[in-house]
């Protein structure tokens, strides 16, 4: 259960990171509300997962999922250019996250 919550919290990390960018310095209400709600839920899930999982593993998985999804979203929406090397390096991060799960 902790791993599932951790993965969902990583997804929510991407949600709040994207919302933070769209909030334009908290000057837009909608994205600002999504940011704060996503941040609270993401942190709560990370804290829950850390009750059973090591801190280092939990944090690395959480950040890895959030970072990869944030970049993939940015590339998919055209906000950031895609390249073969970026995809390769994102795949390496995903491989690291999967590896941490497998060695746990």
In three-state form (DSSP H/G/I as H, E/B as E, the rest C), the secondary structure along the chain is: CHHHHHHHHHHHHHHHHHHHHHCCCCCCHHHHHHHHHHHHHHHHHHHHHCCCCCHHHHHHHHHHHHHHHHHHHHHHCCCCCCCHHHHHHHHHHHHHHHHHHHHC
* pLDDT computed for residue 62 by the predictor: 97
**Residue range 6-53, pLDDT digits in tens:** 999 999 999 999 999 999 999 999 999 999 999 999 999 999 999 999
**Model confidence over 62-74: pLDDT tens digits?**
999 999 999 999 9
Model confidence, pTM: 0.92
Residue 104 has pLDDT above 90, yes or no: no
State the average pLDDT over residues 51-59.
96
């Amino acid at each position: 259960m902790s791993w599932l919550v951790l993965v969902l919290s990583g997804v929510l990390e991407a949600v709040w990171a994207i919302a933070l960018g769209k909030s334009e310095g908290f000057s837009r209400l909608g994205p600002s509300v999504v940011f704060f709600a996503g941040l609270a839920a993401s942190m709560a899930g990370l804290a829950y997962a850390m009750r059973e999982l090591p801190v280092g593993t939990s944090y690395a998985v959480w950040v890895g999922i959030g970072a990869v999804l944030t970049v993939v979203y940015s590339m998919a929406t055209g906000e950031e250019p895609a390249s073969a090397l970026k995809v390769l390096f994102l795949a390496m991060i995903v491989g690291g996250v999967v590896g941490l799960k497998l060695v746990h």
